[in-house]
Amino acid sequence: MKNILVIGAAGQIGSELVPALRKLGFMTVAGFSRTPLTPELAAGGPSERIDILDGTGLVDVIRRHRIDTVFNLAAMLSAKAEAQPLSAWNVGVNGLLNVLEAARIEHCAVFTPSSIGVFGDSTPHAKTPQDTVCRPKTVYGITKVTGELLSDYYFLKYGVDTRSVRYPGLISSVTPPGGGTTDYAVDIFYSAVRGETYVCPIAAGIFMPMMYMDDAVDAAVNLMTADPAGLIHRNSFNVTAYSFDPEGIAAEIRRVIPDFSMRYEVDTLRQGIAESWPDSLDDTAARSEWGWAPKVTLSDMTERMIAALRQRL
Residues annotated as part of the active site: 140
Q: Is-contact 168 283, C-beta < 8 A?
A: no
C-alpha radius of gyration, the chain, whole number: 19
Number of other residues whose CB lies within 10 A of the CB of residue 294 = 19
Closest CA to 119 of 275, 285, 283: 275
Phi-psi region of 46 (alpha: psi -120 to 50; beta: other; left: phi over 0): beta
* Alpha-carbon span 254 to 6, nearest angstrom: 37
Q: Is-contact 218 230, C-beta < 8 A?
A: no
Q: What is the 3-state secondary structure (H, E, C) of 248-279?
A: HHHHHHHHHCCCCCEEECCCHHHHHHHHHCCC
List the Cα angle 267/244/174 in 5-degree steps.
75
Counting other chains too, the contacts that 48-53 makes at CB distance below 8 Å and 24 or more residues apart are 48/5, 50/7, 52/7, 52/91, 52/95, 52/98, 52/99, 53/90, 53/91, 53/94, 53/95, 53/98
- Dmax over Cα atoms in the chain, in whole Å? 57
